[in-house]
Structure 1
Amino acid sequence: PGRDEDLEGLPFVGRSGRLLDRMLAAIGFDRGSAYIANVIPWRPPGNRTPTPHETEICRPFIERQIELVNPKVLVNLGGPSAKTLLNTAEGILRLRGNWRVHTTASGMAIPAMPTLHPAYLLRTPAHKKLAWRDFL
């Protein structure tokens, strides 16, 4: 979570959240038809990328959320999410746009699409076309 998310206690509520809302609307979805969660529930100091240790500590919680929601598709927004939930060290620019499978602890196999994080897209607008392809 970023600053706004940390203050409100909800995922994707700041500028990146507004962009995510527009991205979802463009493909006929909204927050009522999607479950949105963070791999780690707190903002790392200095808004840095979470460490592997931090994501491993939080992994059981996000894994349980995924099992309870039982999604048809899992969309990994950004590198930390994709690396954690897809058990890979590959960077998001290599991962994005390619279907993967997330396997839960109970053995559920969920199709997963890694894509670029909305905050990254705000900093690098030229890559919005890549995320658009991923969402389609």
Structure 2
Amino acid sequence: MNASERAAALDAVAVEAAGCVRCPLSEGRTRVVFGEGDPDADLALVGESPGFHEDREGMPFAGRGRELLRRLLGQVGLSLEETYLATVLKCRPPGNRDPLPEETVSCEPYLYRQLELVRPRVVASLGSFATALLSGRALGITRVHGQEQEVALGGRVVKLYPLYHPAAALYTPSMLAVLERDIARLPALLASDATPSEQALVAPTVSQAEPAVLRPVQLGLF
């Protein structure tokens, strides 16, 4: 499947997600925040769920958090437009509360399908929730940030690279400094010859995914 075919497939999944009523979050959303970016990206950025601005604008990482990501990536020669942006949940939880297990189980197949289609080499998980879900390890982001590991996502083995969430780093200078240092390693990870080997894995699909049980997680700010 070439890039244009993957883009068309992503659009089809986005249409399905736009009408999703699998969990009660659909009742309070303004817009479904599916994801956006380069369908041929080597780098995917995955967060927890839409916030207030994302819910209004319909795109992940809106507002000041997006501008921070753009600036930090630009400092190391990477472009936000050349990445793929997504969140685990596609609808905003009320009051930006933590996602409930049933919400995650209902929504995560969309994310796995996105990763299956985009086929990134590196997936940066932003914050504790996304990191715990994608790694399968109940560890807070303060313990694992900047430590890459190989995991099976979207039917392939990829490098998972946990990062602090930019929205949290905006208000904590020490966290911002760590995030900047961790992002500075992304070009080397993307250029590494030791790329994860592909495996013959069955990828979850939106209609056929086996629901995963949400593991306990030490949640930080995000």
Q: Same fold (TM over 0.5)?
A: yes
The alignment partner of 1:103 has SS state of strand
Bigger CA drift: 28-37 or 47-56?
A: 47-56
Q: Percent identity?
A: 40
2:88 counterpart of 1:23: no
2:42 corresponds in structure 1 to: none
**In structure 2, which of residues 77, 91, 95 is the aligned counterpart of residue 42 of structure 1?**
91
Structure 1 residue 102: deviation in Å?
2.5
Aligned letter for 1:23? Answer: L
C-alpha separation in 2, matches of 1:87 and 1:59: 13
Moved more, 10-19 or 113-122: 10-19
1:132 to 161, 172, 180: 180
What is the CA–CA distance in structure 1 between the aligned matches of 2:123 and 2:154, rounded to whole Å? Answer: 15
Q: Does 1:65 align with 2:114?
A: yes
After TM superposition, what 4+ stretches of structure 1 lie above 4 angstroms from structure 2? none
Q: Does 1:9 align with 2:86?
A: no
Aligned to 1:41, what secondary structure does the other structure show? coil
Larger Cα-atom Rg = 2
Supply the distance in 2 between the matched residues of 1:105 and 1:97 (Cα, whole angstroms): 22
Contact 1:113–1:134, Cα closer than 8 Å, also in 2: no
* 3-state SS in 2 of match to 1:113: strand
Helix, strand or coil: the match of 1:37? Answer: strand
Cα distance change of structure 1 residues 105 and 35 upon mapping to structure 2, 3 Å threshold: closer
User: Which residue among 171, 175, 180 is the counterpart of 1:123?
Assistant: 171
Separation in 2, partners of 1:30, 1:2? 23
Structure 2 portions without partners, runs of 5+: 1-49, 185-222
Where 1:67 maps in the other structure, the secondary structure is: helix
CA distance in 2, matches of 1:53, 1:116: 25
Contact 1:92 1:114 in 2 (8 A): yes
Instruction: Identify the structure with the greater helix proportion.
Output: 1
The alignment's TM-score, normalised by the length of structure 1, stands at 0.92
Q: Secondary structure at the match of 1:123?
A: coil
Count of residues in correspondence between the two structures: 135
1:65-87: CA deviation from partner (whole Å, max 9, x where unpaired): 01111001110111111111111
Q: Does 1:109 align with 2:147?
A: no
- Structure 1: which 5+ runs fail to align? none
- 1:36 match: secondary structure: strand
Counterpart residue identity of residue 31, structure 1: L
Cα deviation, residue 105, structure 1: 5.1
Cα distance in 1 for residues equivalent to 2:157 and 2:97: 31
Deviation of the 1:56 alpha carbon = 2.2
Superposition deviation, residue 49 in structure 1: 2.0
Q: CA RMSD in A?
A: 1.3
1:55–1:84 CA contact under 8 A, matched in 2: no
